Chains A and B, each alone.
Chain A
């Protein structure tokens, strides 16, 4: 199908973009790999698309104390190819490589993935497990939120009218840090039906676990040491979250969580 009519604006600075987005039914677009299909299917019918993909602030990479700030308009392929520095031992490239398809990764952006907040997308779950923080700017100024506080539900975020993601800070992890990441898809690149990311950094005593593809917001366990040692705790967490109603889906989620935890032992280190 063809998209319905929309107007198009590309502004040179953040202030202009946020002002344009605060008015009426405007939506920001960066890589357009999630909004594009929705426009074509006429599920999203904004009056105006505000192109933020070329804002210099959204294309920067900055070392910060304790981590790296990535501009929101950096593409998945840039992470996959190691074109940007990584504050973890190779975790970001591993996540990026599994996102959709290369033709999508070449244009889709990390900020766009977070703003779209599809529960089955890779970045929301992986970045929640990595303890990343989202930087926002809007008419009311700037603020930052933890990924798990930013995403409120399926396709629902804390973004206020006119507000956009400028970047995401990924904390630095030690060389001994390990990351287990597993998802189950019907076909490579399809939306995941179950997903789990686990981070263990014994040096800084960090144990974080995030469960995605929940049809709602991610489940994030910030102190996951006990759950990693005895995964049956996760079963209770899945049940409490109402994710055990369908026995087959429950078995799949349990298995993906267990595999992600098991992967800590085998592939936490860069290849």
Chain B
């Protein structure tokens, strides 16, 4: 807990806060100012918008611990603000709200728009309001309300007001609520509820493959200088195949049909450790096989479902084999939301490429580390350089 001092709606607050508590939770839970609403909790929907030092900001991604000394204004603090009063009338007159969930954030953003940009036209208002989502109105009523107030201010010759960085004093309204109120904390010690730890082993129940809905699909083909039968044998050994994926390893010995595995992935600040199960099926007649699996990153609660289909073709001369690997996967949860489809795809491509490199190395007889390092840009670059050097020397 860290001590902070804030001014909230004109009232000086001294409080002890946990660093991880965000501003919206602080004003709602500690100060009972529940006008600030929480939608997405990662800065996308705008419902939690408040004024920090007079300028609009997302309360869900601002942390009070870092706001020591700041002046906070929530929608309650705008009760007596004349601009907000005019906006409230306009929102009512133009059907600017229905359920009201987005309205506190809309009002705070609308106030900023009409102050900063008097006389703003529809295009400007749409651009400025793009960060606040509304599911009821279709925005038209909100747009009309803001346009009406902006036009009034433009016609009255009001000068633009810079709201940024405390350049204008935020309205002072002492909230009628008795402050501060600190509810009893449920727990002050570590989060020890079952299932919350990071060391909980992956579920080991038998895996039943599901159909993948709208998967991302990748195909990688590469040649290895080994007999097809040798490559085939390797694909039937789960421990060795899994070991070719950077950061992956078996968590329990495999019976040759089902696997329990874990895999660590690092992408910049994102670190995920997927634990999961899968099943292996082989079709020796056609030299193809399938590995299907699913897992969960317990830290972010991201789910992944994936299918790997491999096919082996003998190349002329029978001394080399062409390996075709088709990967299809679906990511669900925070990691998919945050890293967006394309970035996850880039990561999967890098993973598939590293898998191919490691597999080729293994078949050539190179030792693959018992537990390869988690994939990241640095180690991947290193492995590519290493591979290139190895090939260079082999040729010489």
- Do A44 and B269 touch across chains, with their CB atoms under 8 A apart? yes
Q: Which of A3, A32, A43 contacts B272 (CB 8 A)?
A: A43
Interface residues of B in 251-305 (CB under 8 A from A): 267-272, 299-301
Establish whether residues B19 and A6, one from each chain, have CB atoms under 8 Å apart when the complex forms. yes
Residue of B nearest to A41 (CB): B334
Q: Given A100-B131, A106-B57, A155-B269, verify A4-B165 contact (CB < 8 Å).
A: no
Q: Are A43 and B56 in contact (CB under 8 A)?
A: no
Nearest CB of chain B from residue A245's CB, rounded to whole Å: 10
Partner pick for A2 among B20, B62, B346, CB 8 A cutoff:
B20
1/0 per residue, CB under 8 A from B, across A97-110: the answer is 00011111011000
- Cα of A141 to Cα of B334 in the assembled complex, Å: 37
- At the interface, yes or no: B130 with Cβ under 8 Å from chain A? yes
Contact with A along B220-240 (1 / 0, CB 8 A): 000000000000000000000
Any chain A CB within 8 A of the CB of B147? no
- Residues in B with CB closer than 8 Å to A36 are 22, 42-43, 58, 60-63
B131/A104 in contact, CB under 8 A: yes
**Cβ-based interface call for B377 (8 A):** yes
User: Known contacts being A27-B269, A156-B268, is A37 close to B346, with CB within 8 Å?
Assistant: no
Chain B CB within 8 A of A197 CB: no
Interface centre among B65, B269, B301 (most CB of A within 10 A): B269
CA distance A29 to B62 in the complex (A): 11
| Chain A positions 97-127 with a Cβ under 8 Å from a chain B Cβ | 100-104, 106-107, 116-117, 119-120
Asked if B86 CB lies within 8 Å of chain A CBs, one says no
Q: Are B130 and A37 in contact (CB under 8 A)?
A: no
A43 touches B300 (CB 8 A): yes
When distances are taken between beta carbons in the complex, the residues of chain B under 8 Å from A229 are none
- Chain B contact residues (Cβ within 8 angstroms of A): what range? 35 or more
Cα distance, A51 to B347, chains bound together (Å): 30
Which residues does chain A contribute within 8 Å of B46, judged by CB atoms? 101, 103
Are B56 and A103 interface neighbours, CB within 8 A?
A: yes
**A251 interface hit (Cβ, 8 Å):** no
**Inter-subunit contact B66/A117 (CB<8 Å):** no
With a 10 A CB-CB cut-off, give which of A2, A38, A45, A102 has the most chain B CB atoms.
A102
A contact residues around B358 at 8 Å (CB): none
Residues of A within 8 A of B335 (CB): 41, 43
Main SS class of interface, A: loop
The answer to whether A104 touches B22, judged by C-beta atoms less than 8 angstroms apart, is no
Question: In the assembled complex, which residues on chain A have CB atoms less than 8 Å from the CB atom of B378?
Answer: 156
- Assembly CA distance A78 to B346 (angstroms): 34
Measured between C-beta atoms, what is the minimum distance from A47 to chain B in Å? Answer: 11
A64 within 8 A of B: no
Does any Cβ of B come within 8 Å of A1's Cβ?
A: yes
A244 contacts chain B at the CB level, 8 A cutoff: no
One of A130-138, A185-193, A220-228 contacting the partner:
A185-193
Indicate whether B162 reaches chain A with its CB closer than 8 angstroms. yes
Residues of chain B within 8 A of A42, CB atoms compared: 299-301, 334
> Are B58 and A104 in contact (CB-based, < 8 A)?
yes
List residues of A (190-214) whose CB comes within 8 Å of B's CBs: 191, 193
Q: How far is the CA of A32 from the CA of B49 in the complex (A)?
A: 15
For B299, list chain A residues within 8 Å (CB): 4, 42, 45
Residues of B within 8 A of A10 (CB): 66, 68
CB under 8 Å from chain A, chain B span 160-206: 162, 164-165, 190-191
A35 CA to B335 CA in the complex, in Å?
14
Decide if B385 is an interface residue (CB 8 Å cutoff).
no
Nearest opposing residue in chain B for A106, CB measure? B55
The distance in angstroms between the C-alpha atoms of A98 and B59, with both chains bound, is 21
B100-123 Cβ-contact flags toward A at 8 Å (1 or 0): 000000000100100000000000
**Docked complex Cα distance between A117 and B346 (Å):** 15
Which single residue of chain A is at the shortest CB-CB distance from B337?
A41
CB nearest to B68 among chain A residues? A10
Q: Contact check: which of A1, A29, A77 meets B55 at CB < 8 Å?
A: A77
B345 on the interface (CB 8 Å rule)? yes
Beta-carbon contacts under 8 Å, B101-156 to A: 109, 112, 126-128, 130-132
* Cβ contact within 8 Å between A37 and B42: yes
Asked if A2 and B300 make an inter-chain contact with CB atoms under 8 angstroms apart, the answer reads: no
Measured in the bound complex, the distance between the Cα atoms of B301 and A270 in whole Å is 47
Shortest Cβ gap from A223 to chain B (Å): 26
Distance (whole angstroms) from the CB of B362 to the closest CB of chain A? 26
Query: Chain A contacts of B55 at CB under 8 A?
Result: 77, 106
Q: A103-B46, A153-B377 are in contact. Are A77 and B164 (CB under 8 A)?
A: yes
B58 touches A43 (CB 8 A): no
Give chain A nearest CB distance to B337 CB in angstroms.
7
B18: Cβ under 8 A from any A Cβ: yes
**CB closest residue in chain B, given A117:** B268
Q: Which residues of A contact B20 (CB under 8 A)?
A: 2-6, 39
**Is there an interface contact between A102 and B109, defined as CB atoms closer than 8 Å?**
yes
Across-interface contacts of A263 in B (CB, < 8 A): none
Q: Is the CB of A33 within 8 A of B61?
A: yes
Q: Shortest distance in angstroms between B383's beta carbon and chain A's nearest beta carbon?
A: 14
The distance from the CB of A41 to the nearest CB of chain B, in whole angstroms, is 4
Q: Which 7 A-B pairs have the closest CB atoms?
A: A155-B268, A101-B131, A36-B61, A188-B130, A8-B19, A37-B42, A41-B334
List 29 A–B pairs whose Cβ atoms lie within 8 Å, in order of A's numbering: A1-B41, A2-B22, A3-B20, A5-B18, A6-B19, A7-B19, A8-B2, A8-B65, A8-B66, A33-B43, A36-B60, A36-B63, A40-B60, A43-B335, A44-B270, A49-B66, A77-B164, A77-B165, A102-B112, A102-B131, A103-B131, A154-B268, A155-B267, A155-B343, A187-B130, A189-B131, A193-B342, A215-B343, A216-B346
B-contacting residues of A (Cβ < 8 Å)? 1-8, 10, 27, 29, 32-33, 35-45, 49, 51, 53, 75, 77-78, 81, 83, 100-104, 106-107, 116-117, 119-120, 152-156, 187-189, 191, 193, 215-216
- List 8 additional contacts besides A33-B61, A155-B270; criterion CB under 8 Å: A8-B2, A36-B58, A36-B60, A37-B44, A44-B271, A51-B66, A100-B131, A103-B109
